[in-house]
Amino acid sequence: MKRAALYMRVSTIDQHPETQAIELREFAALRGFLVVEEYVDHGISGTKARRPGLDKLLYDAHRRPFDAVIVWSCDRMARSTKHFLQILDELNHLGIQFISQRESMDTDGPLGRAMVTIISAIAELERSLIVERVRAGMRRARLEGRRIGRVPLDVDRSAIVRDRKSGLSLTKVARRHGVSRATVCRFVNESNRISS
C-alpha cells in the first residue's frame, strides 16, 4: 500500500482545515493510500513561500516517509506558478507523487504535470486580476474623494503626550483618552522626534 501525506491550508483563522482533511482522508482511502502524516497551515496566505506546515512537509519528504502528497486543490499548495513548480520539482526529484483532489490530477506522468502547471498559471492569473481590480477600485475611490485606509484618530495628541510625560502609566493614559497603549507610545515617540 502506498503511503500518503496530506497537506491542508486555510487563509483565515475562522476557516477550518478539518473540512479539507475529511475529504482528503476519504479520497486517499478510495485511491488505496495509507495516510501516514498530515500537515496543516492555518490562517496563512498561499502567497507566502515560507509556511510552517509546508516547510515541515518538504523537510520530511527528504526522509521519504511517504510516497505521495495529496492536497484538496493546487492553490492550497501555492498561489504563484514559480513557487508551485519549485515544490513540484522538489517532490518529483525525490520520487514523490503530487495529487490534487479538486482538479483530479496527479504528477504520475507528463500529462498530469502539464495540467498542474496550466492550472497553477490560471490560479496565479486569477489572483493578479483580483489585485488589479482592487487597485482600480481604490484609484476610483480616491478620484471620487473617498478616504482609503484608517480614519485618523480624533484625539488630543498633545494632551496624551502631556499626561504620559507627567508620569501617568501607559494604561492610565490609554484609558483616559480611549486609545491603545501602542498609540500612546507612538504619539510620545513622535513628539520626542519633533522636539529633538
Q: Which residues are catalytic?
A: 11
Question: CA angle at residue 52 from 48 to 55, to 5 degrees?
Answer: 85
In the structure grid, which three cell numbers stand for residue 120, read together? Answer: 497553477
CA 127 to chain CA centroid, nearest Å: 13
Query: Which run of H or E residues covers position 35?
Result: strand 33-42
Residues 100 and 73 sit within 8 Å (Cβ to Cβ): yes
Measured CA to CA, the distance from residue 45 to residue 48 in angstroms comes to 6
Residue type, position 15, single letter: Q
| Residue written as grid cell 479539507 | 20
Q: Cβ neighbours of residue 153 under 8 Å, at least 6 residues apart?
A: 179, 183
Burial label, 93 (beta-carbon count in 10 A; 0-12, 13-18, 19+): exposed
